[in-house]
């Protein structure tokens, strides 16, 4: 209480010009705080909203394409194990001569050796679409030439 009275006494002792300068300084500080706390972040968010909306629209379109692809795959007739194995075998030529596969029960283990990224991506798409094979495990590494080596384990339709 004494401090408040001392502060009021000091304020009353100031000249009108000093009071005006102190009030102006307090106004500048108040405006700066208002800007940093309330207005600045809000305006920054508003300016970034259009970019974020476009990015979210792009993601939505991609998700809708994936949904349509999944529905198209679900509507395809069920494939037998023998048909899936034949489709997988037919697609192996894309991976090159160093790649091979083996079938054990409903799993296909594909060993890759020196496969390009493009060939691997195309082959995975064909294996998924034509053979209805789903990747279960992948142990892939890039060799010094920038090609892929490793193994993939795919699940085929049940027998």
For the chain, what are the domain ranges? 2-74, 81-155
pLDDT of residue 29: 93
Pull the structure tokens for residue 45: 């968010």
Quick one: pLDDT at residue 149?
93
The rounded mean pLDDT for the chain is 88
Neighbours of 116 (CB within 10 A): 15
Task: Report phi then psi at 101, rounded to 5.
Answer: -145, 160
pLDDT 10s digits, 79-110: 788 888 888 888 888 887 878 888 888 899 99
In this prediction, residues 20-42 reach a mean pLDDT of 90
3-state secondary structure 1-45: CHHHHHHHHHHHHCCHHHHHHHHHHHHHHHHHHHHHHHHHHHHHH
Per-residue confidence band for 62, with pLDDT thresholds at 50, 70 and 90:
very high
Q: Tokens for 29, please give them.
A: 């500080």
E strand residue ranges, the chain: 100-104, 107-115, 134-142, 148-155
Comparing CA positions, the residue from 155, 84, 82, 151 lying closest to residue 113 is 151
CATH architecture assignment, domain 81-155 = 2-Layer Sandwich (3.30)
The predicted structure's pLDDT at residue 68: 93
**Which one is predicted more confidently, 26 or 93?**
26
CB 153 within 8 A of CB 108: yes
| Degrees, nearest 5: CA angle 153-108-75 | 95
Locus of tokens 């476009």: 54
Its pTM stands at 0.54
Contact of 85 with 103, CB cutoff 8 Å:
yes
């Amino acid at each position: 209480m004494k401090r408040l009275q001392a502060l009021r006494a000091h304020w009353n002792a100031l000249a009108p010009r000093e009071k005006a300068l102190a009030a102006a300084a307090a106004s500048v500080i108040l405006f700066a705080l208002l800007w940093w706390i309330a207005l600045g972040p809000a305006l920054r968010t508003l300016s970034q909203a259009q970019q974020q909306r476009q990015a979210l629209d792009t993601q939505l379109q991609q998700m809708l394409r994936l949904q349509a692809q999944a529905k198209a795959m679900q509507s395809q007739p069920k494939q037998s194990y023998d048909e899936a194995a034949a489709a997988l075998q037919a697609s192996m030529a894309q991976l090159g001569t160093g790649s091979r596969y083996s079938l054990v029960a409903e799993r296909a283990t594909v060993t890759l050796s020196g496969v390009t990224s493009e060939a691997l991506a195309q082959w995975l798409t064909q294996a998924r679409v034509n053979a209805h094979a789903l990747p279960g495990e992948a142990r892939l590494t890039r060799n010094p030439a920038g090609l892929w080596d490793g193994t993939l384990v795919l699940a085929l339709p049940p027998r």
